Amino acid sequence: MKLYGTSTSPFVRRVRIVAAEVGEAVERVDTATEEGQAELRALTPIRKVPVASLDGRTLFDSRTIVDWLVTTRGWGAIQPPRDPWIEANLLNAIDAALDAVIQLFYLRRDGVAIDGTPYAERQLARADAIFLWLGTQLAHDRCGFGPALGLAEISLVCALDWMDFRQTYPTERAKTVQGVRNAWKKRASLVATRPE
């Protein structure tokens, strides 16, 4: 699979983790470079990463790429969802926290004095509410939402690690879900893809 994206994006990272878990080799095109960005823009009008080229297709969006991988390659060592609707709620919640905080990151990076504004506070409060809710969805051992590593656990770890890496959200505020990150921190696919 040719995967367009940066080494730091949490959305790209979740695809890289799933690819590793299902045994799909990844050739990454770095979209942080001018050439990579030009290639990306020729492929997608959305101008967001990840985008994948595989099996004669171009696929936009991490969730779609992951769906394609698990559908065509199988789940490998990943736990398939027991209830796809519950899984969709978990993934939508994690994506909403990431999207909220990513907007703050981009605004700050472009020099907008966003910190402390009602808009920024609302986004951080949204992330607080999401992590609190995710905490209520954990299994008894608090290591995840089910018995093993699934897509929601992968996405949550990618989100928290990225928030720490970019210091966009103080993840000590996400106390209720820290156990998930601790539980999977030695998983090879997670170790190999940590943002740095």
Ligand X SMILES: N[C@@H](CCC(=O)N[C@@H](CS)C(=O)NCC(=O)O)C(=O)O
Task: Give me the residues that bind ligand X (CB under 6 A), please.
Answer: 9-11, 47-50, 61-63, 102
**How far apart are CB 50 and ligand X at their closest, in Å?**
6
Shortest distance in whole angstroms from residue 147 CB to ligand X = 25
The distance of Cα 115 from the centroid of its chain, to the nearest Å, equals 24
Nearer to ligand X, 22 or 143 (CB): 22
Residue type, 13: R
The distance of closest approach from Cβ of residue 112 to ligand X in the complex, given in angstroms and rounded to an integer, is: 14
CA torsion 141→144→148→149, rounded to 10°?
A: -150
CA 42/CA 157 separation, integer angstroms:
31
Question: Measured from the CB of residue 11, what is the shortest distance to ligand X in angstroms?
Answer: 4
DSSP state of 114: -
Q: Using the minimum distance from each CB to ligand X, give the nearer residue, 10 or 150.
A: 10
Q: Cα-flanking dihedrals φ and ψ of residue 114, to 5°?
A: -90, -25
Cβ-based nearer residue to ligand X, 11 or 184: 11
In this structure, the number of other CB atoms found within 10 A of the CB of residue 141 comes to 9
Q: Choose between 127 and 143: whose C-beta lies nearer to ligand X.
A: 127
- Which strands make up the sheet holding 57-60, listed edge to edge? 27-30, 2-5, 51-54, 57-60
Cβ 132 to ligand X shortest distance, Å: 23
Burial (CB count <10 Å: 0-12, 13-18, 19+), residue 72: exposed
Which CB sits closer to ligand X, 54 or 143?
54
